[in-house]
Chain A
Amino acid sequence: MSLTDFIDALTGRMTLEALPFWKMVQNPTPENIVNGAIATGVAAILVLAAIAVLALLTYFRLWRTVWFDWLTTVDHKKIGIMYIVLSFVMMLRGVVEANFMRANQAVGFDGGFLSADHFGELFTTHGTIMIFFVAMPFLSGVINYVLPLQIGARDMSFPVTNAIGLALTASGAMLVMASLLFLPFSIGGWTGYPPFTGKEYSPDVGPNYWIWAVTLSGLGTTLTGINVACTVYKKRCPGMDFWKMPMFVWASVTTAILMIFALPPLTVATAMLALDRYLDFHFFTTDAGGIPMLYANLFWLFGHPEVYILVLPAFGVWSEVFATFSGKTLYAYRTLVWATLSIAVISFLVWVHHFFTMGQSAGMNAVFGIATMLVGVPTGVKIYDWLLTMYRGRVRITTPMVYALGFVMLFVIGGASGILLANPTIDYQVHNSVFLVAHFHNMVIPGTLFGMLGAYSFWFPKAFGFMLDDWWGKLGASLWIVGFMLAFFPLYAVGLLGLPRRSVAYSEAAYTPYTVVAMLGALVVLAALGAMFWQLYVSIRNRDALNVYAGDPWDGRTLEWSISSPPPVYNFAVGPEVFARDAFWEEKRAGHAYQIPDQWEDIELPANSWLAPILFFSSFTLTFGLVWHMWWLVILSLLVVVGALVARSFVIDRERTIPADVVREEHLRWLKAVREAPSAPRELEVAPGNWGRPQSEAGVPE
């Protein structure tokens, strides 16, 4: 074997062309220079950011903390927080990419400044990232953090599996990030339709990146789903039967069921695409009998339930937020539960509406169109229930409520455009135009994203022990709402005028005013992100004044508010027992809150595990090797994966015990703080001086 053979085996299909600046240097046309400069700049920022993080960790000697408190942790609260951090990092990238696309289309009359391939990479990474690495980790993170607290549990059913789920999701995100340094990513859109993404039309490695990133995320999601479902089934505290579960728990368990049952078709579809590309199978090729349409069918068997995976947790959040800030119990709880469950089932019956135009018979389209419209019914029920929860309540407008109100109004508009699209005859006119882009952003931004940002503002004080600054929070929320409307309402119009989605350029001057407004909207959204980061900074600076250690800043209703902020590692000093749905609220009403337990026990918690970080690194190297055909890396990583799993099965599960004395001392210290905290009336809820001890309205008749 010669040296060049050796190097070839080492680098697989990677050559110098993978570097972001290579094309610009080799062939400096103006177009290559613009695109190369952008790509290189972004890559440089990424590298510098990574170096800065590593340097800071070293400088502040934080490596031990990072390893022992975070990377190897199996604590559901920390895992939840890491999910959300991951989501914010990826969101930054997603929104910046969106701004590039919007800027390009604003000047897109007869050609923007981006090359077609670059634009293609942008909408593909943007879509993939926003769905799989922003929305999904965010909701997994919120569920992880909140759900065990709400059901009075000390952790999830399978803490190590939980950590592995995060590890796989994070390594998928890292793979997408790696594609900034070693180009190219796929240009086949977030749906990755073959035959375009097959090897005949996309011989480069781009689709490989997409396939493996999505696969990793899918595996992580499946594990999360199993874990959440099992936790809700097996870990509820005494007294919490199904009809006493908080609405967010219902939403989470329904989401989990969807995760478990909806991911398989995606896994199969991407696996088949991978076989086509790597081993010359012929599932989706245009020759040898392949049927590309089968891919679309399988993808949307996943894709439609996926949109409910995205939105149901947000529905759960709204249910908590509306009830809490109206000081009222949730209106028609049972119908909300039934609505949630029926949405879950119906979501498996409508997938064909994503390809009305593929050529199936009109009768079939009619069936699926009608089924689709049916989803509007339970969703409408929910909207009315939330409105009626506010009706005659003492509604308090806090940051989460700003998101909630924005959601209600915008989501109804998005839903209405969805009902339009559910009619196949209309869909034939506007499919594949930016009308559709407007529709789904109208669902996913006010729905999922506002839901998650609302959850962030709602539960942040629980997780960190201090409030987020309300003024900056409201500014951020308002900018999100305004930015969204500016960015997407024009797209409805210009979509009807005929602008196709995924267009790098257009030849119709009439489109320009709309795309310019849309660009401004995207800038406002960027400003909203800025406001949120500034809010975080301001709040951390003022954390002493914003302290809510006592734990109940919002006059909360459910169990998570009955403990300190941040909660102790073991969550509950003594396992709670509940007698009502709004368990904590009823305790406050009866004057039983904050009692001193008469018995203390040692608490056993699962010990840290090195399995998740090992799988994080090895699944990244495994998939990176697969992308670039570096077979030595693939084999090596596979050995590590299997070896780690087998070795782990021989390790006797260690538990660490927290002695009763420590629990008692911590708990009494907290109770003392609760007693000493001045109790804040609701008018001072968002001002410094809300110490987390409400002058509760639970005593006041509703």
Chain B
Amino acid sequence: MSQARHPGLKLGHEHDPGSGEVEALVFGFWIFMMSDLLIFGCVFATYVVMLPQVADGPSAAELFHLRGPLIETTLLLASSVTIGFALLETKHRADKRRTTLWLAVTFLLGAGFLFSSTHSLLGHLENGAGPSRSAFLSAYWLLVPLHALHVAIGCLWIAVAAAQVRIRGFDWVTTGGLLRLSIYWHFLDIVWIGILSVVYLGAMI
């Protein structure tokens, strides 16, 4: 049985009591993520269907600018790399301090993302582009906040995971948790590519 198969994290020896469990946990978590991916898929489909349904409200082209989304893209991408670094410290050095440090950096990047995206959402709200204005805006206000909600949950999870590393050290439960956390976080980045492309870049064409 391998533990190296998921994001490059080797947890210990073959007969480590926890390794089979971690393997199952990670596989189960993959399945869960796939189900979540389909949720996003349906929401994306809704967004595309609703694009022309602007009623008397603003359309995508009138509403969106690239600055905010590009900042958010940068933050999220950077955080994908830093969470990878956190895992490397776990894997190669079992270094609590460095692991939590990189987790903290990831947390801050995630918080920055949330700040920026909340800022632009509030801006839309002030301009009268809230979800009640049109079906198109409803779809927008479902898709983007749904992703942001995932990021917020991810931030909470990072905090909990860091606390666990500090308190419990690297047993198979915490390392298994970190492994799943990193999958979750990378997954959010992949979904964001979709949002950037379909919502924001699409609006520019």
Whether A associates with B in a native complex is: yes
CB within 8 Å of B: which residues of A? Answer: 157-158, 161, 222, 225-227, 229-230, 233-235, 260-261, 263-265, 267-269, 271-272, 275-276, 279-283, 285, 287-291, 294, 298, 301, 646, 649-650, 652-653
Given contacts A261-B35, A267-B39, contact A288 B27 (CB under 8 A): no
- Stretch with Cβ within 8 A of A (4 or more), from B42-50, B61-69, B89-97: B42-50
Question: A264-B35, A268-B46, A289-B54 provided; 15 other pairs, C-beta below 8 A?
Answer: A157-B24, A226-B28, A226-B31, A230-B28, A265-B42, A268-B43, A276-B138, A282-B133, A282-B134, A282-B135, A282-B137, A287-B55, A288-B57, A289-B55, A301-B42
Which positions 147-169 of chain B face chain A at CB distance < 8 Å? 160, 164, 167-168
B122 at interface by CB-CB < 8 Å: no
The smallest C-beta distance from A688 to any residue of chain B, in angstroms, reads 43
User: Would A275 and B131 count as touching, CB distance under 8 A?
Assistant: yes
Q: Which residues of A have CB within 8 Å of B36?
A: 264
Name the prevailing secondary structure of the B interface residues.
Answer: helix
Count of chain A to chain B residue pairs whose CB atoms are closer than 8 Å in the complex: 114
Interface core residue of A275, A289, A646, A649 (most chain B CB under 10 Å): A289
* Cβ-neighbour of A283 out of B41, B133, B139 (below 8 A): B139
* Docked CA distance A263–B131 (Å): 25
Interface core residue of A227, A230, A271 (most chain B CB under 10 Å): A230
B105 at interface by CB-CB < 8 Å: no
The smallest C-beta distance from B172 to any residue of chain A, in angstroms, reads 10
B23 at interface by CB-CB < 8 Å: yes
Q: Which residues of A have CB within 8 Å of B168?
A: 650, 652
User: Would B177 and A289 count as touching, CB distance under 8 A?
Assistant: no
30 CB < 8 A contacts A-B: A158-B25, A158-B28, A222-B35, A226-B31, A226-B32, A227-B28, A229-B31, A234-B20, A261-B38, A263-B35, A264-B42, A265-B42, A268-B43, A268-B46, A272-B142, A275-B138, A279-B131, A279-B132, A280-B132, A282-B55, A288-B55, A288-B57, A288-B134, A288-B135, A289-B136, A291-B53, A294-B46, A298-B42, A650-B168, A652-B173
| Minimum CB distance partner of A158 in chain B | B28
Q: Which residues of A have CB within 8 Å of B177?
A: 649
The smallest C-beta distance from B70 to any residue of chain A, in angstroms, reads 27
* Docked CA distance A287–B132 (Å): 10
| Minimum CB distance partner of B133 in chain A | A288
* Docked CA distance A646–B50 (Å): 37
User: Would A283 and B46 count as touching, CB distance under 8 A?
Assistant: yes
The smallest C-beta distance from A514 to any residue of chain B, in angstroms, reads 41
User: Would B46 and A272 count as touching, CB distance under 8 A?
Assistant: yes
User: Would B27 and A233 count as touching, CB distance under 8 A?
Assistant: yes
Q: Which residues of B have CB within 8 Å of A269?
A: 42
User: Would B164 and A649 count as touching, CB distance under 8 A?
Assistant: yes
* Docked CA distance A71–B43 (Å): 36
Q: Which residues of A have CB within 8 Å of B38?
A: 261, 264-265
User: Would B160 and A646 count as touching, CB distance under 8 A?
Assistant: yes
CB within 8 Å of A: which residues of B? Answer: 20, 23-25, 27-28, 31-32, 34-36, 38-39, 41-43, 46, 49-50, 53-55, 57, 131-139, 141-142, 160, 164, 167-168, 173, 177
* Docked CA distance A511–B25 (Å): 57
* Cβ-neighbour of A289 out of B23, B39, B135 (below 8 A): B135
User: Would A280 and B42 count as touching, CB distance under 8 A?
Assistant: no
* Docked CA distance A287–B55 (Å): 8
* Docked CA distance A688–B135 (Å): 67
* Docked CA distance A161–B31 (Å): 14
Name the prevailing secondary structure of the A interface residues.
Answer: helix
The smallest C-beta distance from A411 to any residue of chain B, in angstroms, reads 30
The smallest C-beta distance from A664 to any residue of chain B, in angstroms, reads 23
User: Would B134 and A230 count as touching, CB distance under 8 A?
Assistant: no
* Cβ-neighbour of A281 out of B32, B142, B173 (below 8 A): B142
Q: Which residues of A have CB within 8 Å of B167?
A: 650
User: Would B142 and A650 count as touching, CB distance under 8 A?
Assistant: no
Q: Which residues of A have CB within 8 Å of B131?
A: 275, 279-282
The smallest C-beta distance from B18 to any residue of chain A, in angstroms, reads 9
Closest 10 CB pairs between A and B? A289-B53, A289-B135, A264-B38, A281-B138, A268-B42, A289-B55, A230-B28, A280-B132, A264-B39, A288-B55
User: Would B138 and A283 count as touching, CB distance under 8 A?
Assistant: yes
User: Would A260 and B34 count as touching, CB distance under 8 A?
Assistant: yes
User: Would B142 and A275 count as touching, CB distance under 8 A?
Assistant: yes
* Docked CA distance A282–B31 (Å): 32
User: Would B39 and A268 count as touching, CB distance under 8 A?
Assistant: yes
Q: Which residues of A have CB within 8 Å of B42?
A: 264-265, 268-269, 298, 301
User: Would B135 and A283 count as touching, CB distance under 8 A?
Assistant: yes
* Docked CA distance A301–B45 (Å): 12
User: Would A290 and B141 count as touching, CB distance under 8 A?
Assistant: no
Q: Which residues of B have CB within 8 Å of A222?
A: 32, 35
The smallest C-beta distance from B191 to any residue of chain A, in angstroms, reads 14
* Docked CA distance A410–B133 (Å): 52
| Minimum CB distance partner of B39 in chain A | A264
* Cβ-neighbour of B24 out of A234, A264, A287 (below 8 A): A234
Q: Which residues of B have CB within 8 Å of A268?
A: 39, 42-43, 46
Q: Which residues of B have CB within 8 Å of A298?
A: 42, 46
The smallest C-beta distance from B122 to any residue of chain A, in angstroms, reads 16
Interface core residue of A271, A282, A285, A650 (most chain B CB under 10 Å): A282
| Minimum CB distance partner of A268 in chain B | B42
Q: Which residues of A have CB within 8 Å of B55?
A: 282, 287-289
Q: Which residues of B have CB within 8 Å of A234?
A: 20, 23-24, 27
Q: Which residues of A have CB within 8 Å of B25?
A: 158
* Docked CA distance A650–B42 (Å): 34
User: Would B24 and A230 count as touching, CB distance under 8 A?
Assistant: yes
Interface core residue of B23, B57, B131 (most chain A CB under 10 Å): B131
* Cβ-neighbour of B164 out of A227, A235, A271, A650 (below 8 A): A650
Q: Which residues of A have CB within 8 Å of B134?
A: 282, 288-289
| Minimum CB distance partner of A283 in chain B | B138
* Docked CA distance A650–B167 (Å): 9
Q: Which residues of B have CB within 8 Å of A276?
A: 138
The smallest C-beta distance from B11 to any residue of chain A, in angstroms, reads 16
The smallest C-beta distance from B106 to any residue of chain A, in angstroms, reads 18
* Docked CA distance A571–B98 (Å): 44
Q: Which residues of B have CB within 8 Å of A267?
A: 39
* Docked CA distance A664–B45 (Å): 58
The smallest C-beta distance from B104 to any residue of chain A, in angstroms, reads 18
| Minimum CB distance partner of B153 in chain A | A642
